[in-house]
A and B are shown apart, each in its own frame.
Chain A
Amino acid sequence: MKKRILIRFKKNTIDKPIVYRLAKDYDLIFNILRAHVYPKAESIMVLEIEGEEENFERGMEYLKSKNLQIEPIEQDITRDENKCVHCGICTSVCATEALFIDRMKKMRVGFDYEKCVACELCVKVCPVKAMNVYFD
């Protein structure tokens, strides 16, 4: 199975080894989709994790034992390419720049799924309902 999780942490409570142990000790393949480290505020990291369900559960227990706050990203955000009119309105609310203006492509709006943290703000503002949320 493949899952995405969001980890919230205070600076310095996470370091790479903690995350790397997921691979070593729990046999999980992970991919850091996003890491936002803010010196003064809470930081976030989005991981995509692949492996056995059981290992996943154990891996999560391990992260929690390190006092990290884990939130599964159960929603999946997709864009309906037939509906999108490339207006750009969503780019003003997308904090992770998953939605961005592609200045090399006539200002078309790109969607980089890997950067999406499923905050759903774009779903709320897209005037033509091109951004949709699906639940697993």
Chain B
Amino acid sequence: MKSIDEINEKIKSGKVVVVTAEEMVELVKEKGVKMASEIVDVVTTGTFGPMCSTGMFINLGHSSPRIKIGGGKCFLNEVPAYTGLAAVDIYIGATALPEEDPRNSVYPGSFKYGGGHVIEDFVAGKNIKLLAYAYGTDCYPRRKIETYINRENVNEAYLYNPRNCYQNYNVAVNLSSRILYTYMGILKPNLQNANYCSAGQLSPLLKDPNFRTIGIGTRIFLGGGIGFVAWQGTQHNPNVPRTESGIPRMPAGTLAVIGDAKKMNPRYLRGASFVGYGATIFVGVGVPIPVLDEEVAYYASRGDDELLAQVVDYGNDYPENVKRSLCEVTYAQLKSGTIKVNGKEVPCYPISSYSMAVEIAETLKEWIKSGLFYLTNPVESLPKAGSNLKICALEDGRIDPM
């Protein structure tokens, strides 16, 4: 048994032993869980994939005369930002698109530049064109402003991502007879490819499946800088079918995360365009797992061959919200390049970058080893399996009985 405080002492004295989740898998195969849990203090995880529920708050500072952008309209490089806040607080979301973007009217749309690209450019230190309109008040008389902002000339800029880091994800296939352009990439008709989107054995929440160590307040690697777990992410759903040892077999937990965008690195925040689908952003997240005991070590060392995902049809089932799995596969099978679905050998391709996930886990490892990054005790746990959480569906035509 080790405490987080003890591990932090070791970081301070330079004696901490850190391995990546990938290395932990190998170490446990070699030395067993018990011994590995004694040797290793921290396991670092990483993931780098498209995460649509990502966005950035900016406080622009006040102009003279003042303008109340709150309740007005605001564009960053022509991409609309949310203004329903105080005078100069705005939020730019990753999937926002310029009003002039043709979207899917020319199908499949290319979605060249959206909110995710604005965030990448901002973090890279580029100038962003700001255009805002307001209705004018006695205290905020101005009605229009046109200028440039960048990370040096605004007050705060922080990412607040309502849902990142999905614990596990679907494998997407297409049983229909037409090509599909989805957030899981291009899905060729009649089961010609299967696309998956998880770092598997490096994926943060798969390595702490019962949220023993990851909780609200956990310090993390976010977009190349430091962030924190702010809350459970939206659609957080720990109550899903699990393997015998308790690892979710389908998308389950999620994280809401926060961090100072001014200190992030555009290498780990990359605006993205998914043909026929929309704009989004690749986000790099890494979470350290303190090896408190054997149980933590056991879960942190589960390899791709023990992690399962469900194969889902995006031809009919996903769009129609039919909850059905065609079959179950392991991440080891997915990474091998082919899986078997409905008796057919189907080539499979990743959507999230495993090599970037490795790079993030390695970077976090170096930060911890060199004393740049300390671990935190979570201030509150995330809702765990068995908690009273239920996922709501949006039924249309509900009638208000009042």
Residues from chain B with Cβ under 8 Å of A101 in the complex: 337, 349-350
For window 329-380 of B, CB contacts with A under 8 Å fall at 335-337, 347, 349-356, 358
- Given A92-B195, A127-B50, A128-B271: A86 in contact with B282 (beta carbons within 8 A): no
Can you name 20 extra interface pairs (CB under 8 A) apart from A107-B335, A128-B272?
Answer: A85-B353, A86-B355, A87-B49, A87-B351, A88-B349, A88-B351, A89-B185, A89-B349, A89-B351, A91-B349, A92-B195, A101-B337, A103-B336, A106-B355, A107-B353, A124-B275, A125-B275, A127-B280, A127-B282, A128-B270
Chain B proximity of A2: nearest CB distance (Å):
32
Q: Give the residue among A87, A107, A125, A129 with the most B Cβ atoms within 10 A.
A: A87
Chain B proximity of A93: nearest CB distance (Å):
6
Q: Judge if A105 is at the interface, Cβ distance under 8 Å.
A: yes
Cβ–Cβ contact A86 & B356, under 8 A: yes
Chain B proximity of A122: nearest CB distance (Å):
11
- The complex places the Cα of A86 from the Cα of B188 at a distance, in Å, of 21
Q: A85, A93, A103, A127: which contacts B48 (Cβ < 8 A)?
A: A85
Cβ–Cβ contact A92 & B355, under 8 A: no
- The complex places the Cα of A86 from the Cα of B354 at a distance, in Å, of 8
Q: Mark A87-102, 1 if CB is under 8 A from B, else 0.
A: 1110111000000010
Chain A proximity of B303: nearest CB distance (Å):
15
Residues from chain B with Cβ under 8 Å of A124 in the complex: 110, 275
Residues from chain B with Cβ under 8 Å of A115 in the complex: none
Instruction: Identify 7 residue pairs between A and B in the complex whose beta-carbon atoms are under 8 Å apart, listed by A's number.
Output: A87-B282, A87-B351, A87-B352, A91-B349, A107-B355, A125-B185, A125-B186
- The complex places the Cα of A15 from the Cα of B347 at a distance, in Å, of 32
The closest CB in chain A to the CB of B50 belongs to A127
Cβ–Cβ contact B337 & A88, under 8 A: no
- Given A124-B275, A128-B270: A107 in contact with B349 (beta carbons within 8 A): no
- The complex places the Cα of A89 from the Cα of B276 at a distance, in Å, of 14
Q: Judge if B274 is at the interface, Cβ distance under 8 Å.
A: yes
Q: B188, B193, B273: which contacts A127 (Cβ < 8 A)?
A: B273
Q: Give the residue among A91, A106, A127 with the most B Cβ atoms within 10 A.
A: A127
Q: Judge if A108 is at the interface, Cβ distance under 8 Å.
A: yes
Residues from chain B with Cβ under 8 Å of A88 in the complex: 349-351, 353-354
The closest CB in chain A to the CB of B197 belongs to A87
Interface positions of A (Cβ within 8 A of B): 85-89, 91-93, 101, 103, 105-108, 124-125, 127-129
- The complex places the Cα of A129 from the Cα of B120 at a distance, in Å, of 14
- Given A86-B355, A92-B185: A127 in contact with B350 (beta carbons within 8 A): no
The 4 nearest A-B residue pairs measured at CB: A127-B272, A107-B354, A92-B349, A88-B350
The closest CB in chain B to the CB of A84 belongs to B353
Residues from chain B with Cβ under 8 Å of A87 in the complex: 49, 282, 350-353
Q: Give the residue among A92, A101, A108, A125 with the most B Cβ atoms within 10 A.
A: A92
Chain B proximity of A89: nearest CB distance (Å):
5
Cβ–Cβ contact A106 & B50, under 8 A: no
Cβ–Cβ contact B351 & A85, under 8 A: no
Q: A105, A107, A125, A129: which contacts B350 (Cβ < 8 A)?
A: A107
Cβ–Cβ contact A127 & B274, under 8 A: yes
Residues from chain A with Cβ under 8 Å of B282 in the complex: 85, 87, 127-128
For window 309-343 of B, CB contacts with A under 8 Å fall at 335-337
- The complex places the Cα of A105 from the Cα of B49 at a distance, in Å, of 18
Cβ–Cβ contact A129 & B352, under 8 A: no
Q: Give the residue among A85, A93, A107, A129 with the most B Cβ atoms within 10 A.
A: A85
- The complex places the Cα of A129 from the Cα of B274 at a distance, in Å, of 10
Cβ–Cβ contact A85 & B349, under 8 A: no
Cβ–Cβ contact A106 & B358, under 8 A: yes
Q: B193, B352, B358: which contacts A92 (Cβ < 8 A)?
A: B193
- The complex places the Cα of A127 from the Cα of B336 at a distance, in Å, of 23
Residues from chain B with Cβ under 8 Å of A125 in the complex: 185-186, 275
- The complex places the Cα of A91 from the Cα of B195 at a distance, in Å, of 11
For window 24-65 of B, CB contacts with A under 8 Å fall at 48-50
Chain A proximity of B64: nearest CB distance (Å):
39
The closest CB in chain B to the CB of A88 belongs to B350
Residues from chain B with Cβ under 8 Å of A89 in the complex: 185-186, 195, 349-351
The closest CB in chain A to the CB of B358 belongs to A106
- The complex places the Cα of A92 from the Cα of B185 at a distance, in Å, of 9
The closest CB in chain A to the CB of B49 belongs to A87
- The complex places the Cα of A123 from the Cα of B381 at a distance, in Å, of 44
Chain B proximity of A105: nearest CB distance (Å):
7
Chain A proximity of B284: nearest CB distance (Å):
9
Residues from chain A with Cβ under 8 Å of B354 in the complex: 86, 88, 106-107
The closest CB in chain B to the CB of A108 belongs to B355
- The complex places the Cα of A120 from the Cα of B45 at a distance, in Å, of 35
- The complex places the Cα of A86 from the Cα of B274 at a distance, in Å, of 15
- The complex places the Cα of A112 from the Cα of B83 at a distance, in Å, of 47
